[in-house]
Every structure is written in C-alpha cells, then in structure tokens.
Structure 1
Amino acid sequence: MSFSGKKFRSRRQQLAYDLSFAGRYQKRMNKNPFLYFGLPFCGLITLASFWLSSFTAVKYEQQDRKIQEMNEEDLVKMKNNQRQFDMKEEYYRLQGLADQDWEQVRVPRRKGESENVW
C-alpha cells in the first residue's frame, strides 16, 4: 500500500485553495507545465547568466591589466640586466643545494668490515 503525495483537504478547504493564487497556478501548471514552469525557469537562468557575466568580466580585466606590451627600451634594459647562465649552478640552485654549505664525507668503517669496493 502506498501513500499519495496529495494533501487531504475538506471540500471547503479545497474550494478555498482553488480560488487562491497557489491553487490557480497549480491548475494552470498541470495543464501546460512548460509555459508555467519551464519557460520562467529557463528565463531566470538566462537572465542570471547575463547578470553574472559582469562579475566574471572583472576577473579577466584584472588579468589583462597585469599583461602589458613592452617597449624596445624595456627589452634592451632587461637583456642588459640578465645574469650569466651556468648549467651546474642552476641545477644546484633548483635542488636547493646551493644554499647549504656541506661536503660529502664517507662514513668510517668498523674494524674488519669490508669496504665493498668493486
């Protein structure tokens, strides 16, 4: 046995409901659901996308302000200020080893332990 989703109303309550705004809307929506539900829903989504587009435009405008065209003078200054490139120095800098001052030292072996030299 299953219960229906309809709310029980007495005859008087049903007549009052049918005369109310909700009752008239429910009746019309049951006859033509797209016109009374689908169309307003799609319209709301469309209007909201146009309204929210101004908020997303701000993000892209800020990114555009960061990116600027460079003059020839700026390019020449940038080329002159470049430091010399050394592959080993860059490797150690990227590894974070250039900041540390350390030296590789072999661990002393115990008496009688083999050196494992091949």
Structure 2
Amino acid sequence: MLGDKVFRSKKQQKVFDASIAGRYQKLVKKNSFLYFGLPFCSLIVLGSYWLSDFTAIKYEQRDRKVQEVTESDLLKLKSNNHKFDIKEEYYRLQGIREQDWEPVRVQRLKDESENVW
C-alpha cells in the first residue's frame, strides 16, 4: 500500500504539517469521529432539513390540484351520470347498419394488380 502514503522530504513534511491540510489530517488521525464523522453526519441532517422545504412545495402543489367537491358540483356529477345498459347499447349500434350504404370497391391505379386469386 505504498500508494496511500505520499513521500515527502523532512522539509516538505514540516511545510505540510504547518498547513491547514496537515493540521486537519493530524486531528483526524487523533479523533476521526469528532473531526470527520460528526461534521459529515451533521451535513446530512442539515441537508435533509433544507430539502424538506422543496418536498413540501411539491405536496402543496399536488394539494392545490385536488380540491374538495362542493354539494353543487356533486349534484352536477350525479345529474350527468346515466346508467349503462348493454342491451340498449347493442340495439343502438345495430341501428347503424340500417342506414343506406353499400360497400364500394376502390378504384385501382393502372399498374396495380387486382389481388384476386
């Protein structure tokens, strides 16, 4: 696992230890939960709290679409509703055949075959 550790000379290591990244790395090695785990978990909790506003907006928009039905609207719906009778529909559709019409063959182009076999 040589790739995990970066080789630095003594001078480079002193400069690194004096930098913010070096001090933070040293603190993380001492107490990893306090300096890495706790900020990470708090970031997740705060992010979910912040994103809850966006989900609330989504549900509020959905609630605007679904409205409570008033009594007058309910009466209109009941008056427009008619019962379905299969026999009545059958006879109504049969009436379409009684109209005067005749099947006529479509004229073909010159080079088209009649497809008669």
State TM-score, norm by structure 1.
0.69
In structure 2, do the counterparts of structure 1 residues 88 and 31 end up closer, same or farther at CA, with 3 Å as the change threshold?
Answer: farther
Question: Which consecutive unaligned segments of at least 5 residues does structure 1 have?
Answer: 91-97, 102-118
Tell me the distance in 1 between the aligned counterparts of 2:13 and 2:88: 86
Tell me the distance in 1 between the aligned counterparts of 2:18 and 2:37: 23
Cα shift at 1:71: 1.4
The AA in structure 1 aligned to 2:21 is A
Partner of 1:49: 48
Partner of 2:81: 82
Q: Percent identity?
A: 60
Partner of 2:29: 30
After superposing on structure 2, the runs of 4+ consecutive aligned residues of structure 1 that deviate more than 3 Å are: 87-90
Partner of 2:67: 68
Cα shift at 1:69: 1.2
Q: Any idea what the Cα deviations from partners look like across 1:34-67, whole Å, max 9, x if unmatched? A: 0000000011001100111111111111111111
In structure 2, do the counterparts of structure 1 residues 79 and 60 end up closer, same or farther at CA, with 3 Å as the change threshold?
Answer: same
Question: Which consecutive unaligned segments of at least 5 residues does structure 2 have?
Answer: 97-117
Partner of 1:15: 14
Aligned residues: 92
The AA in structure 1 aligned to 2:63 is D
Tell me the distance in 1 between the aligned counterparts of 2:33 and 2:42: 12
SS of corresponding position for 2:7: coil
In structure 2, do the counterparts of structure 1 residues 89 and 8 end up closer, same or farther at CA, with 3 Å as the change threshold?
Answer: farther
The AA in structure 2 aligned to 1:62 is Q
The AA in structure 2 aligned to 1:20 is S
Greater Cα offset, 42-51 or 75-84: 75-84
State TM-score, norm by structure 2.
0.70
